Each structure stands twice: as structure tokens, then as C-alpha cells.
Amino acid sequence: MNFPSNIFNSHSRQDGDFFLGITNILGFKPKNLKIFKKAFLHRSANKKDRKGNPMNYERLEFLGDAMLGTIISRYLYTEVPEGDEGYLTKMRSKIVSREHLNELGKDLNLIKFVESRIPKTHFGDNIHGNVFEALVGAIYLDRGYKYCEKFIHERVIVPYVDIEQLEGKVISYKSLVIEWCQKQKKTFNYNVYEDTGNDVLKHFAVKLSISDIVVAKARATSKKKAEERASKRAYFALQDKISRA
């Protein structure tokens, strides 16, 4: 791929490195580098534009989330003509799940571009999916729908989307555990409490009890994630019983 001969003259060396790195990930050259730099700007950097508006990746993340959902929806609509609305919605949820987006962000090593005042080792897993969505939003603003669709097809659909595998993919272990408890008429309780400990970021711990017996424990940076992790551990601990239900 040929790069502009004046790239290191028109930008700082840091911008030049960023341009090369982003171009390798995108597979095409960005036009407006400022948009892509914003896609990796964490709110802790506390930067503002000339009008005093906060500058970070969160607005681009919002836009990228919408574009990702639209393009994946169109793909599923075309590829699975027999799928009804419920099926298509469920499959889209599996493809754009937070867990899957985090995997995509990690595989592309997007966190290396993040500008933040917080050490990167202190970020939770969601930072990977957040900046991936922000990157998609930046592509849309910089190059439009066709380039956005091309990127998602090459970076998401081709390497990761297998319809048959996704049909068996679990979206929420918590839902499975709760459904089983309700069918078996068993009481369940998620006891969540703040557990900061020595961590810089706030953590939450959860104890999942079924019929007043603690069956799983977990910690995470949010209550929702802690409950899901505990549910996953409980699911595998009770898998034989749940599969027979």
C-alpha cells in the first residue's frame, strides 16, 4: 500500500505512526485523521473542542453501534431468508454482543491507540469493544456507508460470523440460570456488594445463591458483569442438572 510522501511532513511523527497503524487496520487511508484520533480519546484525557464541548470517543461509539447494528441486520436479512424477526434479532444480538465486540477490539489491539490519563492496565474489558464501535463510527463519518460496510464485512463477518455456530452461542448465562430456577421452582438471589479492595477501579462482588445455598461467586467492574460471571460459573457447575431439565 502506498502512503502519501508528505505524511511525515504534514503531521507530527506521532500522527504519522498513528496514520500508518490505522491504515493497516482499515485497509484504506483515512481522509480526516482528527476523526480517528477522537475515536481513541478516553474521557479521562479531559479534552474539549473550541466550543468547550467534551472530546472523547463516546459519541462516535454511539454512532458506530448504530452502524454496526444496521450492517449486520442487512447481512442477516440477506443470508438467512427463512429467519423470522425473532430469529434475526437474536442472531444480531449474538454478533454485536459486548463479549464479541471486546474480542474484536482485542484482536485488532485497538487499546494501543487509546489516549488516557488512566493506565491501560486499569481498564476493564469493555474498553476494547467501546473503541471498536467508535472506530466504526469514525469510518462512517470519514468515508461513508460503503467503506463502513466493507470494513465490517472484512473484519467482522468474514472471520467471525458462522451462522451455525452462532445458533448455539449463549448470550446470557444469567437468563439460563434464572429460567432453570423458575422451572424447578427454586429460589435464587444475587447478593451484590461493592468490593473495591486494593483496585484503582471500583469492583463489585456477587454471591449467587440457589435455594439458600451459595453456588457461585464472582467479581467485576460492574454489577451486571459480576452477575453474569457468577451465573456462568453456576451454569457449568449445574450443567448436568440444567441439561436434563
**234, 228 contact by CB (below 8 A):** no
Rounded Cα gap, residues 235 and 176, in angstroms = 8
Q: Are residues 28 and 138 in the same domain?
A: yes
CATH of the domain at 73: 1.10.1520.10
Q: Which of 82, 125, 133, 154 is catalytic?
A: 133
Grid coordinates of 57 = 470517543
Sheet holding 204-210, edge to edge: 188-194, 204-210, 213-220
Identify whether 133 is a catalytic site residue: yes
Is residue 66, in this structure, part of any structural domain at all? yes
Is residue 2, in this structure, part of any structural domain at all? no
Residue 5 confidence (pLDDT):
43
Residue 199 confidence (pLDDT):
62
DSSP code per residue over 32-97: -HHHHHHTTB-GGG-EE-TTS-EESTHHHHHHHHHHHHHHHHHHHHHH-TT--HHHHHHHHHHHT-
Q: Which of 61, 65, 142, 149 is catalytic?
A: 65
Q: Are residues 143 and 25 in the same domain?
A: yes
Which domain range does residue 201 map to? Answer: 173-244
Distance of CA 131 to the CA centre of its chain: 8
Residue 10 confidence (pLDDT):
45
**Closest among 217, 216, 219 to 195, alpha carbons compared:** 219
Q: Are residues 128 and 148 in the same domain?
A: yes
Residue 200 confidence (pLDDT):
62
CATH of the domain at 220: 3.30.160.20
Q: Are residues 187 and 115 in the same domain?
A: no
Per run of 10 residues, the mean pLDDT along the chain (length 245 residues) is 45 78 94 95 90 92 97 94 88 88 93 91 89 98 96 92 77 84 92 72 87 91 87 87 71
Q: Are residues 106 and 178 in the same domain?
A: no
Q: Are residues 210 and 108 in the same domain?
A: no
The number of helix segments (H) and strand segments (E) in the chain equals 13, 5
Among 137, 167, 197, the domain boundary falls at 167
Is residue 218, in this structure, part of any structural domain at all? yes
Rounded Cα gap, residues 231 and 226, in angstroms = 9
Q: Are residues 32 and 116 in the same domain?
A: yes
Identify whether 65 is a catalytic site residue: yes
Among 148, 167, 186, the domain boundary falls at 167
Among 167, 183, 208, the domain boundary falls at 167
Q: Are residues 200 and 225 in the same domain?
A: yes
Q: Are residues 131 and 180 in the same domain?
A: no
Q: Are residues 123 and 151 in the same domain?
A: yes
Q: Structurally, how many domains does the chain consist of?
A: 2
Q: Are residues 158 and 213 in the same domain?
A: no
Q: Are residues 235 and 142 in the same domain?
A: no
